[in-house]
Structure 1
Amino acid sequence: MTYEPPKQTIGVAAFVTNEKGEVLLLRTHWRSDTWEMPGGCVEVGEPLDEAVCREFFEETGVTIRPIGITGVYFNQTKATVSVVFKAEYVSGEIKIQPEEILEARYISIDEENIGHYITRPQQRSRTLDAMKAKNFVPYETWEMKPNYQLKTRLDERRRHNDE
């Protein structure tokens, strides 16, 4: 029997609100029927918190700071693990890449109207989880060599970054 390494994808997305409590959502060309949180695929060896910042910026032009993880989800059909962060706005104005993104804007959503904007059930549950999150799952990035070194920690009490 030959060992086959897993062929799974890791995705990240971020829940970000403005000062009015509106959520930054977007629509893509390939999922134009729904709005969703900005995000995308993690590159090999890329820390999750860096990936969500990169993907969010690439899709919206907005710089964010992750606060914590609100949920971890698995799509069995596509073997994709998705990690949703709650993040704070840092800087930038919405500027999209039209070849990938149809539209991005802040939208006022709540449990009553979310289905009008987010039509796919897995995206809706992830967004609702992020909206309701009072606590976050701790997240750490470690550099293993030469000596174990904590690079980033996100948790309830603090954000630690040794970079």
Structure 2
Amino acid sequence: MTSTAGPEGYHPPKHLVGVAGYITNEKGEVLLVRNLHRSYTAEIPGGLLEEGETLIEGVKREILEETGVEVKINGLSTVNQNLSSGNISVVFNGEYVSGELTPQEGETSEVFFEKLGEHNIDEFITATQLKDRTLDAMKEQFVPHQTYRSRPEYQRITRLEGRGS
């Protein structure tokens, strides 16, 4: 284990924070993408958080960039950590609001809604870690999530309540 306190004093740890969205439409179909860098599998859309962005802003932006659609976020469903890359991925559940499915040039080759469940997930999502996070999100069990500022004084920006299925 590596300490964040060295001879020069404390330094913040370095991690990548990813966000992804399990988004459904009015038919109960799930929004999936096929990314150019992982063309062997479909997955729920997402990407890396940008500096100064909230988790919810980031997931909405990533989904819009990758798919061309606007979404409403309803809850936080799962958090995953990849020790090999230092990536912490936060997965939200939400619903389609508007827009046309449009692949992002240079990033996504395919964007589609699919009726997805345990019975057919292997046909679409072949990477185990991506399949696990999608199956977890299907359960619609949400944990509370809030965004806030602590300086100069506490200010809540957003809050999503938890919910069991």
Q: Report the TM-score, using the length of structure 1 for normalisation.
A: 0.91
CA shift for structure 1 position 132: 1.5
Q: Match for residue 98 of structure 2? A: 91
* Percent pairwise identity: 49
Deviations 1:102-129 (A, max 9, x none): 1000011111210111000000010001
Q: Which runs of 5+ in 2 are unaligned?
A: 1-6
Q: Match for residue 160 of structure 1? A: none
CA shift for structure 1 position 29: 0.7
Q: Match for residue 148 of structure 1? A: 154
- Runs of 4 or more, structure 1, over 3 Å off, are none
Secondary structure of the equivalent of 1:30? helix
Distance of 1:38 and 1:63 partners within structure 2: 12
Deviations 1:2-48 (A, max 9, x none): 44431110000000111211100000111000000111100122110
Deviations 1:79-111 (A, max 9, x none): 100000001222111112121111000011111
Q: Please say if 1:136 is aligned against 2:142.
A: yes
Aligned counterpart for 2:122 among listed residues 115, 120, 135: 115
Q: Which runs of 5+ in 1 are unaligned?
A: 158-163
- Pairs within 5 Å for 1:1-163: 1-2=7-8, 3-133=10-140, 135-156=141-162
Counterpart of 1:81 in structure 2: which amino acid?
A: I
Distance of 1:92 and 1:149 partners within structure 2: 33
Query: Judging changes above 3 Å, is the alpha-carbon distance between structure 1 residues 77 and 107 closer, same or farther for their aligned structure 2 residues?
Result: same
Task: Tell whether the 8 Å contact from 2:145 to 2:162 is kept in structure 1 after alignment.
Answer: no
CA shift for structure 1 position 143: 2.2
Counterpart of 2:153 in structure 1: which amino acid?
A: N
Distance of 2:15 and 2:127 partners within structure 1: 22
Counterpart of 2:129 in structure 1: which amino acid?
A: Q
Root mean square deviation, CA, Å: 1.3
